[in-house]
Each structure stands twice: as structure tokens, then as C-alpha cells.
Amino acid sequence: MIYAHTGWVRLFVKDVFPDVPLVGYFEYYYRTQGADLGFDPEFPVDLDVVLRCKVKNAVNLLSMEACDFGVTPLRWQAANYPTWFQGKLQVIHEGIDTDALQPKRFDTLNLPGFSGIDLSNTPVITFVNRNFEPTRGFHIMMRSLAHLQALVPQAHVIMVGGDKLSYGLAHESGKTYREMLTAELGASVNWTRVHFVGDLPYEQFIGMLQLATVHVYLSIPFVLSWSLLEAMAVGKAIVASNSMPVPEVLEHEKTALLTPFLEPQALAQNIARLVSNPSLRASLGQAARQHAVDEFDLRRVTLPKHLAMLAAIEKNKLAGALAKIGNF
């Protein structure tokens, strides 16, 4: 049996091994409407963007034809694939290690710029992008800062990420989004309490999440970030955008506070609400942790599902395997 991420072009495997079941990991199918494209009116969609989107799906479509079965992490991702392919898809997340990711509380942070800063009685707001860009709501977070500092002036905001591009297009000016937004906001923000710490080693990254008072997660409709599940696993109170697929993972007022993606002021108000309400933070953090353990734990939940799927395919080969294992 062969199990492969389709984004890395496993198109000719069946030509070499025609009788071996091929299971493809399908991460995202681009849609010209109703998903990431056009979601944020600040970044309008023109014909060039639409055509790029269709070309991005070329490997996806060839992989669908090549694979016998498919796996995708969430129901929303599965629903974005063409209906003719959905019958081949299983919804199984890759999982996170909730044994290693435990709730802890630290009062110090071993990061550049934090030497000697006592954070024991100071709200710490964390925000993570692989790279700072609009796909993951960096512009919204930045525009919330002045509102947040008016409500919680003593807070420190820690921004983790780089200045390259992971998704989407570069700004037409040639400047990074951090440069553009820092200039846009200017003196309206107290930058001494906003810390851009770059990319972090994993241990430091998790320590930062564990220290946080509130963690913020924003994204246009797109693939869910592992960092959100990691923040859940360490028991953080989370403010997250209500854009898909976040509501598939978090429920408003039960495991997080969900906020409109396009409203920086509402984001700041929700963060301030959690900062001022320790009991709500505790209840949301505990519920988020439990949900992560119940639904996304690697060893006890997601890996057994993957192995059970592969065992069913092996047992039944190709004939009738889909009927045996079902679909999303």
C-alpha cells in the first residue's frame, strides 16, 4: 500500500505499481467562490487570480484520478472537493500530541527582548503566523492593536512569524505586510508592548503558548493551522475568527470566543473580555483542551483511525473497501 501527500506530485505511482492501493492525502481544493478567494474585500479577485486558482487545482485533479482513496483533515475541506470525488474521501485529521502539549503556567519567557521582564501579573496576548500575511489575518490583528491597547493598556502582545510568503500574493508595493501595516498604524500603537519575535524553535513556541493569557487565531477560509490545535491542547483561552473551518473545531462561548474576521475592533473587545474575566478564560481553556484530547489526540484518536482505514483497505483490497469504511 502507498500513502502519499498529493501536493508532492505522486502522479505516476500507479503506472509503476498498478495493483497497489494508493491513498492520497488531499489538503485543499481551491474554489473561485465561497472559500478563500474574494472573502476579504480588501483583496479583490480579478480574472488573473481566478485563472491562477484553476491552475493550482491541476495536480489536485490529476491526483484524484490516480488515487484509489483519499484522506483530508476536516469535513469542510472534504466538502470543497468535487462531488464526484467525495465518495472516495475519508475525514481524518493528522492529529497532535496532547500528552506532550500540557497546560502549564510560566512567568518568564526566554526570548529576545524579554530578559528580566516579569509577566506574572501582565496580560500576554499571543498571535502566530508562519509568515505575516493576510491569509492568516495579520492585517486584522495589527489593526486591532490600538483598540486593544485602549482597553488593556498593560498587555504585552507577542507576534510569532516571518516576513516571507506562505500563501497568497506579495503586496504590490514590494514591501512586507509588516512594513506596510507598521507604517499605516504609526504612533496610534505603543510598539514597546508589541514584540515581533520571528520564528521560534518548537519548545520555545509551546512555552510561549503556555504562558499566554489569551491566544488569537485568525484565518480566511482555508486549511486549519496546527497552532490552533496546539493552543487548545495547552488549555488556552482563545479568540478566533468565525471563518471556516474554525467553527468545525471551536464553538462560540463553549470552547472559545469567535469573532468576525473583518472587524478589528470586535477582535480587541473579545480579547479584552477574556483578559478581564479569569473564570471565563479558565472554562474556555479547559473545554478547548478536552475537545483537543477527545477529537485530535494523535495516539488515541487520529492515528488509530488512519491505521483502521489502511487495514480495511488492505483486508478488502479495492473491491468493496469504500462500503466497509464509509466516508464523511
Alpha-carbon span 113 to 109, nearest angstrom: 9
Give the model's pLDDT for residue 169.
Answer: 75
Supply the mean pLDDT for the chain: 90
The bridge status of strand 237-241 relative to strand 257-259 is parallel
Give the model's pLDDT for residue 107.
Answer: 65
Alpha-carbon span 134 to 168, nearest angstrom: 8
Cα–Cα distances in Å, from 23 out to 91, 223, 283? 13, 20, 39
pLDDT tens digits, 194-223: 999 999 999 889 999 999 999 999 999 999
pLDDT at 319 over 50: no
Map residue 262 onto helix, strand or coil: coil
pTM of the predicted protein model: 0.91
pLDDT above 70 covers what percent of the chain? 92
Map residue 178 onto helix, strand or coil: helix
Average confidence (pLDDT) over 41-49:
89
Average confidence (pLDDT) over 170-182:
89
Average confidence (pLDDT) over 38-62:
88
Q: Give the model's confidence band at 152: pLDDT under 50 very low, under 70 low, under 90 confident, else very high.
A: very high
Give the model's pLDDT for residue 328.
Answer: 45
Average confidence (pLDDT) over 239-262:
98
Question: Hey, how many other C-beta atoms are within 10 angstroms of the C-beta on 3?
Answer: 16
Burial 175-185 (b: 16+ CB within 10 A, else e): ebbbeebbeee
CATH T-level assignment (fold) for domain 124-294: Rossmann fold (3.40.50)
The domain limits of the chain are: 2-95+297-325, 124-294
Place of cell 475537545: 291
Q: In what order do the strands lie in the sheet with 69-72?
A: 2-5, 22-25, 69-72, 89-91
At position 269, the amino acid (one-letter code) is Q
Higher pLDDT pick, 122 / 241? 241
Q: Nine-digit cell at 18?
A: 498498478
DSSP letter assigned to residue 223: P
What DSSP line would sit under 35-99, residue for residue?
Answer: SSTTSSTTS---HHHHHHHHHHHHHHHHHHHH-SEEEESSHHHHHTS-HHHHTTEEE----B-TT
Q: Give the model's confidence band at 26: pLDDT under 50 very low, under 70 low, under 90 confident, else very high.
A: very high
Please provide residue 175's backbone torsions phi and psi, each rounded to the nearest 5 degrees.
Answer: -85, 160
Alpha-carbon span 14 to 67, nearest angstrom: 8
Q: Give the model's confidence band at 46: pLDDT under 50 very low, under 70 low, under 90 confident, else very high.
A: confident
Give the model's pLDDT for residue 314.
Answer: 82
Q: Give the model's confidence band at 18: pLDDT under 50 very low, under 70 low, under 90 confident, else very high.
A: confident
pLDDT at 279 over 90: yes
Nearest Cα neighbor of 291 from 220, 231, 245, 244 is: 231
Please provide residue 25's backbone torsions phi and psi, each rounded to the nearest 5 degrees.
Answer: -90, 110
pLDDT at 164 over 80: yes
Give the model's pLDDT for residue 112.
Answer: 64
Query: What's the 3-state SS for 100-146?
Result: CCCCCCCCCCCCCCCCCCCCCCCCEEEEEEEECCHHHCHHHHHHHHH
